[in-house]
Structure 1
């Protein structure tokens, strides 16, 4: 978090870029903090479990195939292991960094977790609408009973944790899958950082081989947030239903965006900002339509049941 270093992270710049991807009236708050991983045993174990290796065959100057094992960090497995962890960083980062923010952005009616040794109190409250939900449960299958301390969805506020794993004494060629330093889903961003030299990639620009700099993660953080918050994908990728996988067109790899091995910019172009805003509108409309369909189906089923009686 120190300024003036090659590995520094500029939170103000990231916040400025994120604000360009949200609509008028919405608010962005970024809370940063440094937490030694060795003090959080369960998260350290999760990182260790997420280490994977795969075999590579490369030709050397002698013209022969040489097989070696390359270690990488699997983001999907790491997320799963961190979800299983009960560590305070995995569930209560907001309360740890700034308790006042959780009071501002989250409704709290009555605390349900009064057991000792639990500090993960971000959204452990009984929702205000729970008394009204019981009347809508008639005719439906019984759901699992909520226990004390369970997490409830809080509407109107979205928290996206961004974990920057700044590791020491690791493989100097360590990266995440697909020769990347970032992994993102809809609810979490994981970025890998270590202070080793340039890592040669399998990508070539003209006659020069591309390299990844694992100490400089500013643009990778922004790319992960753009993907998780605005649903923005790399401009050189598109989903192919025929191939059942993303298809790449590297002609679009260069430009003002933080994605991929050919970018070196920690900014979002105006086009990608508009894409993020458009995706937000689409998501809201889709969510509203789903609710309308569910309500309509429930009313129809309830009406038919009443007629049978």
Structure 2
């Protein structure tokens, strides 16, 4: 069956619609979880977010969570993260560096863009190549371990 095929990945996306403003974890219209993506859609078309640019609050259109849904699905599929998240060696954790939140794509909080950029598509492709190589190495190492145990 195609459900067990390595070339097929089914992602449950749950899309909740509510008349009142509804967010996930206080600030998100969509969230990637380990086994699904959750999206919320609400009536307000101009919602003042917790983020600011040049001292002005960014406004979100809660009626159209497409951008957030694409970002969450991309994160679920490939581990793609927003550009403003960077790893800090000093803190040994991810930190926010908003200078990198640029471009017209789903991961830029200052734009309305919902299309994955060429850079992000390349990043996703590299991620798949690295994952395939790691899996291949694991299979070869398993085979080598089995061969070592065989008597000659």
Match of 1:286 among 109, 131, 134: 134
Q: What is the match of residue 164 of structure 1?
A: 15
- Is the 8 Å Cα contact of residues 199 and 212 (structure 1) preserved in structure 2? yes
Distance across 2 between alignment mates of 1:270 and 1:178: 31
Q: Secondary structure at the match of 1:262?
A: coil
Instruction: Give CA-to-partner distance per residue, 1:143-168, whole Å, 9 cap, x none.
Output: xxxxxxxxxx5433211222211234
The question of 1:211 aligning with 2:59 is answered: yes
> TM-score with structure 1 length normalisation?
0.44
- Is the 8 Å Cα contact of residues 223 and 259 (structure 1) preserved in structure 2? yes
Q: What is the match of residue 102 of structure 2?
A: 254
Instruction: Give CA-to-partner distance per residue, 1:194-232, whole Å, 9 cap, x none.
Output: 213533222111131112222111111211222122321
Distance across 1 between alignment mates of 2:147 and 2:86: 39
Instruction: Give CA-to-partner distance per residue, 1:11-54, whole Å, 9 cap, x none.
Output: xxxxxxxxxxxxxxxxxxxxxxxxxxxxxxxxxxxxxxxxxxxx
Shift of 1:298: 3.5
Shift of 1:278: 1.1
Shift of 1:242: 4.3
Q: Secondary structure at the match of 1:263?
A: coil
Match of 2:80 among 204, 214, 232: 232
Distance across 1 between alignment mates of 2:16 and 2:33: 16
| Alignment coverage as a number of residue pairs | 152
Q: What is the match of residue 55 of structure 1?
A: none
Q: What is the match of residue 140 of structure 1?
A: none
Match of 1:198 among 32, 46, 57: 46
Shift of 1:260: 4.8
Matches within 5 A, 1:49-88: none
Larger Rg, first or second structure (1 or 2):
1
Distance across 1 between alignment mates of 2:102 and 2:65: 18
Matches within 5 A, 1:10-159: 106=1, 153-159=4-10
- Is the 8 Å Cα contact of residues 83 and 108 (structure 2) preserved in structure 1? no
